[in-house]
Amino acid sequence: MRILVIEDERKVAEFVARGLRDQRFAVDVVNDGQAGWEMASTCNYDLVILDLMLPGLNGLEILKRIRRRGSQVPVLVLTARAETAEKVANFEAGADDYLTKPFAFDELLVRVKALLRRGSPERASLVRIGDLEIDRQKQQARRAGKRIELTPKEYSLLEYLAAHAGRVISRTMIIEHVWDESFQGLTNIVDVYVRHLRSKVDDPHPIKLIRTVRGVGYSISDEGET
């Protein structure tokens, strides 16, 4: 899950980003409106956290532009202003939720999780693929009832593949959703991580769930190969 934070108060931006990264989200931060709009319009985010008062381009204008291009990405608006009129304008422009500063991180997290669930109704907390079970609440995976020890990145990769089970996912899609903008390497990092994931998820079992689609990417499904 990749989140864009557009917030010019660096302390707030860092506080939000740090907390979300601890929760295993991939987070990009920008501190001005113009850059924020550019990021929002060029990358494929799962959620945008948007401050209203921004240098360059204000939050309301960014929100309108996001919706004008037809994007349904959930947008959580942050603001110091609590006036009702402002709130109405933001909801009308397409904000999904609203948080008035200052806020506790836990409050933000509850809203972020709720918006991400709303964005994808199929997002069940327990995902089963054959004898593989992924518990999104606990961020744990089991196969044949046995716990698989995964690093945070391996877990995120597995969860992302599993959320699109049966579909072929390209390396670029994986990079966009599992890594964040600070990642400057090559897409073959994905191959390295998939190899690690396979050694843990598939190697000990006769049926292989993770499949390579040559020249395209990867797919996970219970119609695996033996």
Report the interface residues with Ca ion, using CB under 5 A: 8, 51, 53
Half-sphere exposure of 50 (CA within 13 A, CB side): 34
Least Å distance, CB 110 to Ca ion, is 22
Nearest residue (beta carbon) to Ca ion: 53
Q: Which is nearer to Ca ion, 7 or 159 (CB)?
A: 7
Q: Which is nearer to Ca ion, 6 or 132 (CB)?
A: 6
Q: Which is nearer to Ca ion, 8 or 131 (CB)?
A: 8
Least Å distance, CB 89 to Ca ion, is 16
Least Å distance, CB 83 to Ca ion, is 16
Q: Which is nearer to Ca ion, 60 or 190 (CB)?
A: 60
Least Å distance, CB 5 to Ca ion, is 12
